[in-house]
Chain A
Amino acid sequence: MIKLQNIEKVYRTDTIETLALNGINLHVAKGEFLSIMGPSGCGKSTLLNIMGLLDEPSKGELHIDGHTVTRLSDKELAGFRNKRLGFIFQSYHLINDLNVLDNVELPLLYRKVNAKERRRLAAAALEKVGLSNRLQHFPSQLSGGQKQRVAIARAIVGEPEIILADEPTGNLDSAMGNEVMDILIQLNQHDKTTIVMVTHDEQMARKTHRLVRLFDGSQVQ
């Protein structure tokens, strides 16, 4: 499903060059739930961002579902992200000025889906994460766990084949973290969604199919 070939990422300033990822070769199979672990600054999030087409590698090739995606235009990348990828972030990144339903609708805004259908799909996604009773609430009125469930609903509303989650339980207590993890496992098992998750939590990582460890930008396991 996702194939990374010799991926390198170098951050350059006027005086310093930092090698964030060094020759990463990785294959994520369709329907796999993969977790990435490693100490802070080892390149986990950078790797996830490259897989999610949020950042460009300095070198190497990335293939998603057989498509080489490293040389796509802005418009093609946007279309690819919109239809095939869903994102969950540690700090939720909900839009505070929009209510829950409007937040979840967001990916559908960039598809040709009419307003009524957008509402229906968003409500269905929220039902899946158990938030049917919070449609008109604003993010500031929700707990951390609820916010992350809204973020999950937003990630799945467009039925992407791949979900990329950057420390989705990082800001939650263990009970809420487990709830969120259960939803992700459910998505993986029932909907066969491929999930790549960055985490610091060994216990959460053990619940996934495979664990990849990074150290100083290189894959060590």
Chain B
Amino acid sequence: MLKNYFKIAIAVLKRRKFFTFISLFGISFTLATLLVLTAFLDRIVNHEYPDAKRKQSLYISGIEERGERARSNSGLSISYIKRYVLPMKLPGAIAFSSRSNGTNTYFHGKKIGIDYKFVNSVFWDILEFDFLEGKPFTVQQEKNLEKVAVISQDLRDNYFGKDVPAVGQYLEANNEKYRVTGVVRNVPASTYMLSSDMYIPYTLTKDDMNTPSYFGEYAAILLAKKTSDIPAIKKEYEDIVRRVPHTQKRFLKTTSLADSYLDAYIRGGSQESKQKVWVYTALGIFISLIVFLPIVNLVNINVTRIMERSSEIGVRKAFGATRKALVYQFIVENIILTLIGGLVGLVLAQLVMIILNNADLIKNLHLSLNFTVLFIGLLTCLVFGFLSGVYPAWRMSRFPIVKALKA
């Protein structure tokens, strides 16, 4: 029976080439979009370079002070980190880093844009950067205010030349010369909390490290000794934040959250508790629309397509097909159609990813079709085929035989 359904599905696809094109285009375009999107999300959620201990870590991306008429939020200042974060008892280690700042430098007449971050030396203990050469700067160098830096592979290749050893050499940025202590594998720009071209000891910052303000440009990473300590660390930080005095009279409430990587990523520094819900809701609506609209379109096309075949439906019913058998037949046909669309979608997605990777729109972000993405793609195909086939199939299976034969 399946063979018979397969034959007729292929014949119908060949017969109405325009409908087939529209259906396949809808399915493959949607699937390609979904696949690229899931590849992107997969890269953000599951790609754990350089923070391999992500599940064991909490991220404090900012702080907010709020009054009746005033509201300010920002990253953390170093003084806040020193006063309220570093003294925490439960974390095994605490790293912090500034957001990326940009500067230009010139080398042999070539202008090179550099993103740099100030980080503490623990940063190198918590995060597992791949050192292509050299090593991180030490706590001693940090204390001694030594002008040292760890640079990315990209910066080394741009500044010193491709694969030219950089350790021990000097690099000029912001009118300062930094000695390179190590070169690390590039971090994709999508991992914005950690990616940079150059990592400099925070002690070299020109910021006031004793400012009373809580607002600055830093984020902190709290590494738990074991994953089960995470809730207790969260609680410890919550208790600290509750006791933090307000910096100005107009502020009545201070909020700063220690989040998981994904929550901190989505929050993007905002301490608004609804922010996360908004982002998840927006993402959910976006994905639902991407999936839902083509399904509605497919249902429409399928209704037309199936109604065209009402004579066949009448004949099948006259010769003993039950409603269930007809629904089954049309769902199988639809799944075949969507699987073909799925294959085209896979090829399209692969092409789009190659184009995106080559264009380097998001620096060092290399999208690829992995097993998760493939699995999601195949599952989506099947769900598509099923959903877009059920309603038309159900509708036509209830069509009276005599009317179907006359149509």
**Which residues does chain B contribute within 8 Å of A115, judged by CB atoms?**
3
**In contact, B322 and A111 (Cβ under 8 angstroms):** no
Question: How far, in angstroms, from A124 to B400 measured CA to CA in the complex?
Answer: 32
**In contact, A107 and B402 (Cβ under 8 angstroms):** no
Nearest Cβ distance between residue B72 and chain A, in whole angstroms? 68
Q: Does B167 contact A (CB under 8 A)?
A: no
**In contact, A87 and B8 (Cβ under 8 angstroms):** no
Q: Mark B373-402, 1 if CB is under 8 A from A, else 0.
A: 000000000000000000000000000111
Q: Does B228 contact A (CB under 8 A)?
A: no
Q: Among B12, B15, B311, B320, which residue has its beta carbon within 8 angstroms of that of A110?
A: B320
Nearest Cβ distance between residue A115 and chain B, in whole angstroms? 7
Question: How far, in angstroms, from A107 to B7 measured CA to CA in the complex?
Answer: 17
**In contact, A55 and B400 (Cβ under 8 angstroms):** yes
Q: A87-B318, A110-B319 are in contact. Are A49 and B8 (CB under 8 A)?
A: no
Interface residues on B, range: 20 to 34
Question: Whose C-beta in chain A lies nearest to the C-beta of B322?
Answer: A78
Q: Does A213 contact B (CB under 8 A)?
A: no
**In contact, A74 and B318 (Cβ under 8 angstroms):** no
Question: How far, in angstroms, from A75 to B318 measured CA to CA in the complex?
Answer: 12
Q: Does B11 contact A (CB under 8 A)?
A: yes
The total number of A-B Cβ pairs within 8 Å is 68
Question: How far, in angstroms, from A55 to B324 measured CA to CA in the complex?
Answer: 19
Q: Does B163 contact A (CB under 8 A)?
A: no
Question: How far, in angstroms, from A106 to B313 measured CA to CA in the complex?
Answer: 12
Question: How far, in angstroms, from A102 to B104 measured CA to CA in the complex?
Answer: 74
**In contact, A98 and B316 (Cβ under 8 angstroms):** no
**Which residues does chain A contribute within 8 Å of B4, judged by CB atoms?**
98, 102, 105, 109
Question: Whose C-beta in chain A lies nearest to the C-beta of B329?
Answer: A109
**Which residues does chain B contribute within 8 Å of A145, judged by CB atoms?**
none
Q: B314-360: which have CB < 8 Å to A?
A: 314-325
Question: How far, in angstroms, from A179 to B329 measured CA to CA in the complex?
Answer: 35
Question: Whose C-beta in chain A lies nearest to the C-beta of B317?
Answer: A78
**Which residues does chain A contribute within 8 Å of B365, judged by CB atoms?**
none
Q: Does A17 contact B (CB under 8 A)?
A: no
Question: Whose C-beta in chain B lies nearest to the C-beta of A109?
Answer: B1
Q: Does B209 contact A (CB under 8 A)?
A: no
**Which residues does chain B contribute within 8 Å of A111, judged by CB atoms?**
320
Q: Does B312 contact A (CB under 8 A)?
A: yes
Q: Does A89 contact B (CB under 8 A)?
A: yes
Question: How far, in angstroms, from A82 to B316 measured CA to CA in the complex?
Answer: 10
Question: Whose C-beta in chain B lies nearest to the C-beta of A115?
Answer: B3
**Which residues does chain B contribute within 8 Å of A105, judged by CB atoms?**
4
Known: A55-B400, A78-B325. 13 other contacts (CB 8 A): A74-B323, A78-B320, A81-B318, A81-B320, A93-B315, A93-B405, A98-B4, A98-B11, A109-B1, A109-B321, A110-B322, A154-B319, A158-B319
Pairs across A and B, CB under 8 Å, 19 listed:
A54-B402, A55-B402, A75-B322, A75-B324, A78-B322, A81-B317, A81-B320, A83-B320, A94-B315, A95-B8, A97-B7, A98-B8, A102-B7, A105-B4, A106-B315, A106-B316, A109-B1, A109-B321, A110-B322
